[in-house]
Amino acid sequence: MSASAGITAWHDFMSQGSDPAALKAMLAEDAVFHSPVVHSPQIGKDKVFAYLFAASHVLGGDDFRYVRELVDGQQAMLEFSCKVDDIHINGVDIIRWNDDGLIDDFKVMVRPLKAINKVWEKMAAMLASQTQA
């Protein structure tokens, strides 16, 4: 299966208000998330969901845009641009889908350093609020 259906589902998720059920449905049980600020990979559907759901709220917004996509079979690189607290963020999502069309690997890279620091600050707060809820 190619990445095209997965990319469409991901774009729909990011543009339609971050529906948690839609996100969970996209993730493989053994999914892995690679954060730009956390040293070790986050493994398992629940952990990956927590990080991606938080990121969709921190980064997603009116000015969030994917500006470039490179697709190769079951994987894709999507370059994004957005602003958080007046800091311009440029980054890439590197996504791989398994044979069932579910995300099994998701890596985020962010630049510049100010952006990484802002993402870390906002993600830490969002993840903390999720665990308290």
Which domains are delineated in the chain?
4-132 (3.10.450.50)
Answer yes or no: are the C-beta atoms of 47 and 34 closer than 8 Å. no
Please report, in tens digits, the pLDDT of each residue of the chain (133 residues total): 467 888 999 999 998 866 899 999 999 999 999 998 888 999 999 999 999 998 898 888 888 999 999 999 999 999 999 999 999 999 999 999 999 999 999 999 999 998 888 888 887 887 787 665 5
pLDDT at residue 15 in the model: 87
For 36, counting Cβ atoms within 10 Å of its Cβ (0-12 exposed, 13-18 middle, 19+ buried), the class is middle
**Considering the entire predicted model, what is its pTM?**
0.89
